[in-house]
Amino acid sequence: MNKEKRLEILTRLRDNNPHPTTELNFTTPFELLAAVLLSAQATDVSVNKATDKLYPVANTPQAILDLGVEKLKGYIKTIGLFNSKAENLIKTCQMLVDLHGGEVPESREALEALPGVGRKTANVVLNTAFGWPTIAVDTHIYRVSNRTKFAMGKNVDLVEQKLLKVVPKEFKVDVHHWLILHGRYTCVARKPRCGSCIIEDLCEFSPPKKK
Ligand code: SF4
């Protein structure tokens, strides 16, 4: 895909949604970090349902530690893999209290040292809580980038590198939200909704030929 098309795609996505953000509910970097940890293999809606009850009771690392793992499990038991997520969240809270004064560190290295936090989660927190121009490539971004030929790559790391290279600076902070939302609601996995897609004329998707 050429530069002009990419620019037009980004411009349309921006015009369509000038101030995109995550669909996870949060008000502080810690609330975002905890929500992202809870969201692995779960929907944002299910995470929001749990955190809407949890955060009024406990929304800091110390408060979650005070709650304890069993009570924490009670709040998040509707989310998949809640047992291991609760254990990880407690360990993360302990590290945040011990090493970072109970705050979420604005550092990739420190974030990735937390239990359950990989590159993608660190990218989301750095981007969405701190405004860094990072791009967290999830399954939606991976699919949309490859399908449209906007930024092709054989794995998520390669797609991330390609996106960082081809997306102009002014779009970098928001691009991951636009691509996730586009993948979640329009360019869906099974049957992309090309008829109602605002970038259909620019997309280079070639559907497999019917036999
Ligand atoms: S035209 Fe279809 S394949 Fe291309 S981005 Fe839109 S929904 Fe996805």
Q: Does one domain contain both 138 and 153? A: yes
Residue-wise pLDDT tens digits, 181-194: 999 999 999 999 99
CA of 73 to the centre of ligand 1 (A): 39
77 alpha carbon to ligand 1 midpoint, in Å?
36
Across residues 28-35, what is the average pLDDT?
A: 97
143 and 191 fall within a common domain: yes
Whether residue 208 is contained in a domain is answered as no
If asked whether residues 117 and 89 sit together in one domain, one would say yes
Q: How many domains does the chain have?
A: 2
Residues 48 and 74 in one domain: yes
Which position has the token pair 């809580």? Answer: 129
Q: From CA 150, how far away is CA 159, in angstroms rounded? A: 10
Q: Give residue 75's domain range.
A: 29-128
Residue nearest to atom 2 of ligand 1 (CA): 194
Helices 44-54 & 69-76 angle (0-180, nearest 10) = 130
- Domain assignment present for residue 69? The answer is yes
Number of other CB atoms surrounding residue 100 within 10 Å: 16
Residues 88, 143: one domain?
no
| Domain match, 35 and 117 both | yes
Protein residues whose CB sits closer than 6 Å to any atom of ligand 1: 147-148, 186-187, 192-194, 197, 199-200, 203, 205
The answer on 104 and 63 residing in a single domain is yes
CA of 40 to the centre of ligand 1 (A): 25
Question: 134 CA to middle of ligand 1, Å?
Answer: 24
Residue 156 banded pLDDT, cuts 50, 70, 90: very high
Per-residue model confidence as pLDDT tens digits over 116-151? 899 999 999 999 999 999 998 999 999 999 999 999
Q: Looking at the structure, do residues 94 and 38 belong to the same domain, yes or no? A: yes
CATH assignment at residue 52: 1.10.340.30
Q: What is the mean pLDDT of residues 22-38?
A: 96
- Identify which of 199, 201, 204, 206 to mutate to test ligand 1's pocket (most ligand atoms within 8 A of the CB): 199
pLDDT at residue 159 tops 60: yes
**193 CA closest ligand 1 atom index:** 7
Name the domain boundary from 102, 128, 154.
128
Q: Is 15 a catalytic residue?
A: no
Task: Note whether residue 109 is domain-resident.
Answer: yes
pLDDT, the chain, mean? 94
Do 60 and 149 fall into the same domain? no
Is 138 designated active site? yes
pTM over the 0.95 mark: no
